[in-house]
Amino acid sequence: MSYASWVMRLVWKDIVVELRRKELVYASIFFAGVVLLVFAFSFLGGERPTLDVAAGVLWVTVALTGTLGIGRAFEREREGDTWRALLLSPLPRTALYVGKLVSLCLLMSLVVATAAFGVGLLFGAPLADHLGGIALLLVLGVVGFSAIASLFAASLGRSRSRDLLLPLIVYPLVVPVLIAGARGTAGLLTGEDPALPAFWMRFLFVFDLIFVTLGLWTFEPLAASEG
Amino acid sequence: MKLKPLSLVLATLAVLGLLWAPFLIVGAPREPTMGFVQKIFYFHVPCAWVCFLSAFVCAFGAIAYLFRDAEWGERLAASSAELTVVFGLCTLVTGPLWARKAWGHWWEWDVRLTLTLLLWMIFIAYLFARRYGGPGGKKLAAGLAIFGAANVPLIYLSVSIWRSIHPKTSVVPTLDPGMRPAFWVSFLTFTILYFVLLEARVALERARASLDALYLEAEDRGLFDGDPV
């Protein structure tokens, strides 16, 4: 069986499990809504937040929701002991990483699309006017975020404090994604410097390239410690 | 614990440097615009240098541990990570003290400040992961150190887009000749101090590993349950 078909099978497995349970999609979308409302309430009564703030809110929501969803996705694998089964199977370890990365990117894309809609609605950000650019930024950001979060969520293994450790490890590492995403989105929304969004897109692309490569390189020794 | 001759020489040099440096710092010319506060520079710059050196050593040890299963790599990485946090804290405390006087406020989202803060946070996360990461905690922490080191140029690039108000690194070669002895003695002293502390910390980890191995062996031979050896 080819590498690509291993990956496709793993992604299809995750899609089927999610279609049956619908736990991650519903919980993550609802959580994204709750986070956006918390932000909206904190600005209540004051002036309408600027476009810079709206861009920041969107990306913080992506980070918070992503950690919750990815953490839960691996927790589910452990509860059913299916993660151990996957590690014992003859498929290449890196295919396991790529498969998880693709399925988590698909999940996060759904959540991020909802969060973007919510930011447009609650903060009056004209996201629809720059749909292509913002969608590209979000896709690149989701890949970078998932590359790091899925690797460390998989590596947290049998640790009892994994719910505590995952955000502690992931957030400092994804700061460049948050800066690039928020600044790129703000650049598109305000239209102050037309060169800036393109710069942040290139930056995110390089980030993704580096961290997916590092993920492929370190997945084997990190996931091998899982039992 | 018996000290090796090299460690003893380095430790003596570090102590002498720490005793000598304050006299040189007090005797160095007073900077006209900043006044007395500028003297933080002799402490702040060496701390920042050692913090970044220590992070690099940690990533090196982490790679050796993760890909070669080298226990020495893990001990080196863990010891260096602790020192990165200690020297990072010194940098982050002395920086704002200077900034309050120079810029009028404690903190600025400048590239060097942001980079140091994030690096410090990543290494605190390293210590958490190693301590509370369960059976695979050491490997997890090693992975974090590698990702953290790879993140440094990206954080630098992402923040340097804005104008930097932090003094440039070119301030060191263009230093007033009167200030140079104080600066270089401080710089060397901190570097030597780092290696002395690193050696001591690695030796402690080594002793702990030997003790654990002896304990396990004693347990295997039944020394703790009254069975004959």
Taking only the tens place, the pLDDT of each residue in B107-154 is: 888 777 888 898 999 999 999 999 888 778 889 899 999 988 888 887
A148 contacts B134? CB cut-off 8 A: no
- pLDDT of B148: 86
* CA atoms of B43 and B21, how far apart (whole Å): 10
DSSP summary character for residue B110: -
Q: Return the structure tokens found at A142.
A: 């989701």
Shortest Cα–Cα distance, A39 to chain B (Å): 23
> Which residues does B contribute to its contact with A (CB < 8 Å)?
66-67, 118, 121-122, 125, 128-129, 132-137, 139-140, 143-144, 146-148, 150-151, 154-155, 157-159, 161
H helices of chain B, where?
Answer: 5-27, 41-68, 71-102, 111-132, 137-160, 180-220
Q: Which residue of A has its CA nearest to B119?
A: A172
**Distance from C-alpha of B44 to C-alpha of B39, rounded to nearest angstrom:** 9
- How much is the pLDDT for B81? 95
Give the A:B interface size as CB pairs under 8 Å. 101
What is the Cα A187 distance to its own chain's centre? 21
Contact A200, A187 (CB under 8 A): yes
CB within 8 Å: B136 and A156: yes
Closest CA to A204 of A117, A153, A148, A144: A144
Check A155 against B140: CB less than 8 A apart: yes
pLDDT band for B5, please (50, 70, 90 cuts): confident
A206/chain B closest Cα distance in angstroms: 9
Report the residue from A169, A175, A221 with minimal CB separation from B139: A221
Chain centroid to Cα B46, Å, comes to 10
CA distances from A178 to A52, A137, A160, B50, B159 (A): 13, 11, 28, 28, 12
Chain A residues near any Cβ of chain B (below 8 Å): 148, 151-152, 155-162, 164-165, 168-169, 172-173, 175-176, 179-180, 183, 199, 203, 206-207, 210-211, 214, 218, 221-222, 225-227
The chain B residue lying nearest A200, using CA atoms, is B158
Residue B59 has pLDDT above 80, yes or no: yes
Pair B144, A152: CB distance under 8 Å: yes
- Residue in A148, A165, A211 nearest the CB of B133: A165
Tell me if A225 and B139 make a contact (CB, 8 A cut-off). yes
Quick one: CA dihedral A145, A151, A152, A157, positive or negative? positive
DSSP B167: P
Take residue B217 and report the two structure tokens written for it: 């062996």
Taking only the tens of pLDDT, chain A with its 227 residues reads: 788 998 999 999 989 988 898 888 999 999 999 999 999 888 877 777 788 888 999 999 999 998 888 888 888 888 888 888 888 888 888 899 999 999 999 999 999 999 999 998 888 888 888 889 999 999 999 999 999 999 998 888 667 777 888 899 999 999 889 989 998 999 898 887 778 889 889 989 999 999 999 999 999 888 765 44
Place of tokens 């970044």: B52
pLDDT at residue A50, as a whole number:
82
What's the token pair of residue B26? Answer: 């007090």
What are B64-119's pLDDT values in tens digits? 999 988 999 999 999 999 999 999 999 999 988 888 888 888 888 877 788 889 89
Q: Are B150 and A210 inside 8 Å of each other by CB?
A: yes
CB B112, CB B160: distance < 8 Å: no
pTM: 0.86
Measure the CA angle with vertex B41, ends B38 and B47; round to 5°.
155
pLDDT for res B107:
85
